Amino acid sequence: MRRGPLPQRDAFNEHHVVVYDIETICDEEPADDSFPPWPRHRPVAAAFLTARWTTEGYAFRLATLMCKPGEEAAFYAKVEQQLPADATGIGFNSRAFDNRVLAIQAMKHVPGFDHVGLARQAFAGRFEGAHCDLADQFGGLGGARPVALAEICHALDIPIKTSISGGEVGALWRAGQYGAIRDYVREDVLATYLCWLHFIAFVKSDETRITLPLADLAAWLEREPGLAHLRPFAECRPARVARARAPALRAATAFAEAERRVTQERDEAAFTAGAAAGF
């Protein structure tokens, strides 16, 4: 008998996801240039891509937040606004880094500890639907050696690291190059979203899980003048395939839904007639 998807994957709310990524700096860099432990990091930028299914297709919103000294409380209030209770949060290495950094810095800077959405993400269990760490999922839940987001993206023909690298963020921040950091964190969020679409379509064995949202995303990116630097995500191979296949899949989906409704109406009519006849 064919087994279905693993339970934790069924728990994800595919119709409402929030993909996020942060960029951080450390006030004291290690002398040996090693990567500092996560509690030493503080966020300076974050991006949140919300994707929600509607009856007219997928709708998208991209919020980019910057966190300058003295603005921490306002930053975490805005982070909280991006994490509604019904959405599945998505990141890459987020269980081990992004969520850890956000949580501990919010504990430090928000005396009221009123961050239900962030706490839900930061302390979600590995097998819950509140959060999906794609590094964990692509790595077989610890079965494979960890790899960077860039490695997954290169394998799937997804654009990645098209502007700067993470190692440059500290220098750019101190030089006041906030626009470069903003563009960079947005690029990582878009790349992570495309990885999510590949992942969920594969585990559900359903092409519509990637084709329809990716086609809608590509069209949205082309309509938004302020997101011109993200156009490579609308023009990459996966997006071209999705846009070519989306019309036929939309038609097939609409036909299947119409058939389902006709069958439901026929069954309801038969039930009503049987009840009236006393059966």
Q: Which two tokens stand for residue 155?
A: 């394998």
State the amino acid at position 34 in one-letter form. Answer: S
Q: Which two tokens stand for residue 38?
A: 């996560």
- pLDDT tens for the chain, 279 residues long, are 334 444 456 789 999 999 999 999 988 877 777 888 999 999 999 999 999 999 889 999 999 999 999 999 999 999 999 999 999 999 999 999 999 999 999 999 887 678 899 999 999 988 889 999 999 999 998 889 989 999 999 999 999 876 676 677 877 878 888 888 999 999 999 999 999 999 999 999 999 999 999 999 999 999 998 999 999 999 999 999 999 999 999 887 766 666 677 676 676 666 676 666 665
Q: What is the largest CA-CA distance in the chain?
A: 86
pTM for this prediction: 0.88
3-state secondary structure of 98: helix
Q: Which of 215, 10, 259 is nearest to 127 (CA)?
A: 10
